[in-house]
Amino acid sequence: MPPTDPKFYKELLDHMSDGVYFVDRDRRILYWNEGAFRLSGYKADEIVGRCCQDDTLCHVDYEGHHLCQDGCPLTASVGDGGSHAAQVFLRHKQGRRVPVSVRVEPIRDEGGAVIGAVEIFSDNTAQHAARRKTAEMERLAFLDQVTQLPNRRYAEMSLQTALSEYQVHKDPFGVMVIDLDRFKAINDNFGHATGDLALQEVAKTLTGALRNTDIVGRWGGDEFIAVVRHVDSEILRGLADRCCILVAQTSFPSSDGSTVSMSVSIGGTLVLPDDTPEGLIKRADELMYNSKTNGRSRAATA
């Protein structure tokens, strides 16, 4: 196929691992490549012709603010003719939140007038690092089979390693105990297969919400644990709030077609000089139960 053939360029774009789409000045989507389908779950025929304002991808920033209505990089590029970049979370067709790096460039006509924009979005480094971690977990039998997160054994080892490094080098870290709210009701109302799916979607959302230096694993049942390095009280609180916000904006369809919404309650604490692994977990666990007592879908840190 010669490079002058338009199909050549379509195939070239479709073979990119990044998602690519074009919009006109009204942010109506004119083109959607295969990479965009792989990252979002939406096929071109489900997206082309729709407007970004329809909020299909429901882009949010790290604080959970909806960008399709306010703060959209596409809108900014069409408006000022400049390049824009952002780190955002899109909503996958299956309901989970996917962290992506977004780059936007204006599209101009022969006279130089802006007639639209192109957005390129890709998995951020935390997601790629998570895939590498998953492969290693599988090799060492440290993987939880339901969520594909590190299992309790690996989480315990990570916590002990962080504590040992703190005792020698004073590298600060924190622990978060994360509990899926009303998990029994999900199992009772929709069945255990849907309960497993809820755990999987929460696991994916937590992985995207945290940094590539953090470890999040399944502690057991509906409970997760995260070991977060190089944090102070403000960073710990921000990470815990981000996890709560993004899980609360995650949903998926059950087998009967109804929507399953989720939330988590979180307790987070910083390491103290005389801490043991058991003491850290106990303190974070108590804070998590305070979150549940105070209404769920919230974080308590200390």
Q: Are 271 and 280 in contact (CB under 8 A)?
A: yes
Separation between Cα atoms, residue 302 and residue 290, nearest integer Å: 12
Q: How far is CA 11 from the centre of its chain?
A: 29
Separation between Cα atoms, residue 54 and residue 106, nearest integer Å: 21
Closest to 145 in 3D by CA, of 200, 227, 191: 200
Alpha carbon of 260 to those of 74, 96, 138, 291: distances in Å? 31, 12, 29, 21
Look at residue 62 and give its three-state secondary structure.
coil
Token pair 């939140």 is found at: 97
Catalytic, 181? Answer no
For residue 211, give both structure tokens.
């940094």
Separation between Cα atoms, residue 94 and residue 111, nearest integer Å: 42
Strands (E), the chain: 19-24, 29-32, 84-91, 97-108, 114-123, 173-180, 215-220, 223-229, 251-253, 259-261, 264-270, 299-301
Separation between Cα atoms, residue 38 and residue 254, nearest integer Å: 22
Catalytic residue among 222, 241, 275, 285: 222
Catalogue the active-site residues: 222
